[in-house]
Chains A and B, each alone.
Chain A
Amino acid sequence: MMKSLLPQSQLRRSAAAAARSSGGGAAGADGAMADGGGAGPRAPASSTFWFLLHALFCLISVFLGFRFSRLLFFLLFSTTALYHSTTSSSSAAVLRATTTTTTTTTTTTTTTNTFMLSFAAANNPPSGPANRTALEAADNKGAAASGNPQSHVVVGRHGIRIRPWPHPDPVEVMRAHRIMERVQEEQRRWYGVKEPRQVLVVTPTYSRAFQALHLTGLLHSLRNVPYPLTWIVVEAGGTTNATASMLARSGLTFVHIPFPDRMPHDWADRHATENRMRLHALRVIRERKMDGVVVFADDSNVHSMELFDEVQKVQWMGAVSVGILAHTGRADQLRLSEEDKQNMPLPVQGPACNSSGHLAGWHTFNSLPFSGKTATVVGEAAPVLPRGLEWAGFVLNSRMLWKEADGKPDWVKDLDAVGENGEEIENPLTLLNDPSSVEPLGNCGKKVLLWWLRVEARADSKFPQGWVIEPPLEVVVPAKRTPWPETTTELPSELLDDKQEQEDRRLSRANKSSRPRGTTKRKGDPQGQDN
């Protein structure tokens, strides 16, 4: 302990006090105010010491002025306290307002300073009277904080505590997200479906230009379904690598079933083929005794998440409302009379209920306004309409398809009896003996849970196989002669040289007349290139 800095008059007293405390708390202390920085009350003989200290402070205040003297002592204390403070103060906050005045309820308001945190780190006190400095201990004549001596909650101006780096910590953010996930899982357990059943999604597909578009959308929707799911994909024309690679990348459990026939080019035959593909999938479900709710998700349809929550409620067979979007694909509108416009029914297919909430009939898509203008060939620029009732609007309990199942109702036909003669299976109602037992879902069909849309390109449209471009693209428009507004920045020379190399390679491969290598930067000069 360096006592050399202490004024001579206090040396004896501080020595006595230090001897008593045996240097425990003041290890490594230096500076005149070391004792002032110490925690807790000292031995009783030091009360005179405090008095002398107080006198010293008053004297200095006379010279420096009240506020400046306090600031000086704060700085002195903070430098000494920093030597004491442990690494735990790394998380200590820093005062924004360095002075804290507490107005007490005595008639003379005494202002005292509480140095909150660089001190607190040194002294490890809890918030409490020990937090105060020597000054305050001397000044506070038992003035009431909240009117009560035991309370440490002080009325008056407080500092605003801000930590040194008031920004989120990524580890904590992750923890918070995990907490929220757990809370949401618990919410689902309480208020959601009690026993979630597996969802078996049946999708007929085939490789064509728009397959990637449709299948990617469906894939992402299925990834978001919070229930166990198996995706049964039936592919017309046998399994292809393109489809297989998409399924493999999806991360879902899937069953990829080849279907021998190729997909025909006109819509009527295509619908029939798709129906047969779905039936094939149902037979596979039956063979493998897959358990769950069967949802018919065509790859071009868009499904809402509520659909999958709603289908958990199905007992045997349910029907949901499907929004039918018949897109003309052309700018000119259909010639509709005003009367037609008034009576235009909703583009929804679904169950219709009577007032007591039971199934009363079906609402189908009205195709009259489109008569004569619908597409017949896939890829034709005309609206594609559904036929009758679409499969997408129905959901089944897979046990309905099994040969033997508990409680299987007698109004369900045996699957083998359906379609074996090659007859058309227009919609799932043909699987039933009695179509009136279908359960209407989605608030009795009031909520549209998915949308039906058929958008396809012509069967002979070109698209890169697997959407991987090989060989690389040819330049159609040089980068410097773009149809869109020029930017003023020049291409850096390295990039320009690269471009030149690539063009040279292309030229050599395409066996065009090789250009002299000596030509320097071509600033977008389209010599010899077709535009």
Chain B
Amino acid sequence: MGTGSARALALALALLLACSDIAVVTAQETERIEGSAGDVLEDNPVGRLKVYVYDLPSKYNKKLLKKDPRCLNHMFAAEIFMHRFLLSSAVRTFNPEEADWFYTPVYTTCDLTPKGLPLPFKSPRMMRSAIQLIATNWPYWNRSEGADHFFVTPHDFGACFHYQEEKAIGQGILPLLQRATLVQTFGQKNHVCLKDGSITIPPYAPPQKMQTHLIPADTPRSIFVYFRGLFYDTGNDPEGGYYARGARASVWENFKNNPLFDISTDHPPTYYEDMQRSVFCLCPLGWAPWSPRLVEAVVFGCIPVIIADDIVLPFADAIPWEDIGVFVAEEDVPQLDSILTSIPTDVILRKQRLLANPSMKQAMLFPQPAQPGDAFHQILNGLARKLPHGSNVFLKPGEKVLNWTTGPPGDLKPW
């Protein structure tokens, strides 16, 4: 009897030791990321929603791309890659009756200047023409006036279709898209060009290019703050004060003599490598508050310092950006060095652990072909989280909400 109990005790002890060993071994380097919507970065959208892709004539998509293949490489390329992804995705359905969401593949940002910048002047007409097409050929637009349709509008100010902020605010979001869900890179709170229920996505950054510039992870991070980019846009804003609301100029004037700040307009070939050797990477606003720097900072494990008042960051409900990045108000830029050096070390280490989480990096990228957890899937997850559709989505027969005749007369011309 005594030996039996002793043996049981020994067994229990051994088990306890083994369990404690296991507990020690699983001390994690990374932390799970939970946003306000919960731990949703790794959700699989397949089975949670169905998307019907309208078959538009190629003048809306393929012809534009053939005319200018540079559209595949600039930071607005997400609209093209989203179309390609949806065409072969498991969430696609060929039966529109069972679809939860409808996607219209119109490449509104594919009209490029010789320098490669998109001209948005024809985009409202293009969008109107596409919507008119789907409204006449399928009954699904009129049934909900677009409330169960989504559009990818990755341009500077989203569906306001202008690169100048004042004009964009003046135009406002295209009236026909009032009820639709917009998937866009622009996000700023209380701004005309961000409507409720939009899904903010990261700008497109080429994943292969970033992969080829990875350096060994044990390279010590010896740069404190890193930034490469313009501080003054002398071409468009020679006096300064308009560009970036003066924030970038303030960064330059206050910290150009500070050895902790490796900032300059000079773009070196080791740009990606240098980001991997930095603790903080500045992501100030430019002409628009978003920038691919955020994606690069996340991929390279550099803590993003976001200087853009009221910005809405990508997938804000899935990713807790306050825990991951440092937010600095534009008026606090002169004290940026004090702010950054007074962050407690354990907070910094926690941010680095969150950034090291591979699902975080994956969520910011648009890899070809698509991989689980990437930005395409996050968009679908975001759409799935908006389901089931509310009662105001489907209109009663005869009810009309949209006004098809508002807007500047130039936009009403057919495309």
Using a CB–CB cutoff of 8 Å, the interface residues on chain A facing chain B are: 91, 93, 96-97, 100, 103, 105, 116, 127, 144, 146-148, 150-163, 166-169, 172-173, 175-176, 178-180, 182-184, 186-188, 190-192
Contact = CB atoms under 8 A, between A and B. Distances in A.
A188 B218 contact: yes
A163 B259 contact: no
B221 A180 contact: yes
B253 A146 contact: no
25 contacts: A91-B335, A96-B253, A144-B192, A146-B188, A147-B169, A148-B191, A151-B191, A153-B188, A153-B245, A156-B242, A166-B254, A166-B256, A166-B334, A175-B341, A175-B342, A176-B224, A176-B340, A179-B224, A179-B279, A179-B345, A182-B345, A183-B345, A186-B349, A190-B218, A192-B218
B220 A187 contact: yes
Nearest to A145: B190
A312 B222 CA distance: 24
A127 B329 contact: yes
Interface in B239-289: 239-242, 245-246, 249-250, 253-260, 279
Contact of A180 (B224, B255, B333): B224
A168 B337 contact: yes
B341 A160 contact: no
A110 B259 CA distance: 42
Given A146-B190, A147-B192, 11 more contacts: A148-B191, A154-B245, A162-B253, A162-B334, A166-B254, A168-B337, A176-B224, A179-B343, A182-B345, A183-B352, A191-B217
Given A91-B335, A180-B224, A162 B250 contact: yes
A192 B217 CA distance: 9
B29 interface: yes
Chain A CB count within 10 A is highest, among B169, B257, B340, B356, for B169
Contacts of B240: 160
Interface string B219-247: 01110100000000000000111100110
A105 B169 contact: yes
Contacts of A116: 331
B334 A167 contact: no
Contact of A161 (B239, B279, B331, B338): B331
B322 interface: no
A176 B260 contact: yes
B72 interface: no
B166 A155 contact: yes
B120 interface: no
Contacts of A178: 345
9 A-B pairs closest in CB distance? A147-B192, A151-B190, A191-B218, A163-B334, A158-B246, A184-B220, A175-B341, A157-B241, A148-B190
A184 B217 contact: no
A192 B29 CA distance: 13
A183 B29 contact: no
Contacts of B169: 105, 144, 146-147, 155
Chain B CB count within 10 A is highest, among A146, A159, A167, for A146
A93 B334 contact: yes
A169 B257 CA distance: 11
B101 to A, nearest CB: 28
A190 B239 CA distance: 48
B172 interface: yes
Nearest to B249: A160
A157 B190 contact: no
Contacts of A162: 250, 253-254, 334
Contact of A159 (B166, B246, B335, B345): B246
Contacts, number: 143
B220 A169 contact: no
Nearest to A184: B220
B241 A159 contact: yes
Interface in B302-342: 309-310, 329-331, 333-335, 337-338, 340-342
Contacts of A169: 337-338
B131 to A, nearest CB: 23
Contacts of A105: 166, 169-170
A100 B310 CA distance: 20
Interface string B21-35: 000000001000000
A520 B103 CA distance: 102
A226 to B, nearest CB: 10
Contact of A187 (B166, B193, B217, B335): B217
A180 B193 CA distance: 40
A161 B333 contact: yes
B342 A186 contact: no
Nearest to B343: A179
A166 B255 contact: yes
Nearest to B310: A153
B67 interface: no
A146 B330 CA distance: 16
A169 B335 CA distance: 11
A110 to B, nearest CB: 14
A139 B188 CA distance: 26
Contacts of A100: 241
B112 interface: no
A103 B338 contact: no
Contacts of B239: 157
B339 to A, nearest CB: 10
A59 B105 CA distance: 59
B42 interface: no
A93 B335 CA distance: 9
A155 to B, nearest CB: 5
Interface string B62-83: 0000000000000000000000
Contacts of A161: 246, 250, 254, 331, 333-334
B191 to A, nearest CB: 5
A190 B341 contact: no
A186 B218 CA distance: 10
Nearest to B338: A172
A166 B191 CA distance: 33
B225 to A, nearest CB: 9
Contacts of B255: 166
Contacts of B117: none
A158 B250 CA distance: 11
B165 interface: yes
Given A160-B241, A179-B348, A173 B260 contact: yes
A103 B242 CA distance: 11
Nearest to A96: B253
Chain B CB count within 10 A is highest, among A151, A161, A188, for A161
A96 B232 CA distance: 15
A179 B334 CA distance: 20
Nearest to A191: B218
B7 interface: no
Chain A CB count within 10 A is highest, among B29, B220, B333, for B220
Contacts of B386: none
B59 interface: no
A504 to B, nearest CB: 50
B189 interface: yes
Nearest to A148: B190
Contact of B309 (A153, A159, A160, A192): A153
Nearest to A103: B166
B206 to A, nearest CB: 26
B331 A148 contact: no
A176 B341 contact: yes
A99 to B, nearest CB: 10
Given A151-B190, A159-B241, A172-B338, A184 B221 contact: yes
A285 to B, nearest CB: 30
Contacts of A188: 218, 220
A166 B253 contact: yes
Nearest to A159: B246
A150 B217 contact: no
Contact of A151 (B166, B310, B333, B348): B310
A469 B76 CA distance: 73
Interface in B325-382: 329-331, 333-335, 337-338, 340-343, 345, 348-349, 352, 356
Given A166-B254, A173-B260, A182 B349 contact: yes
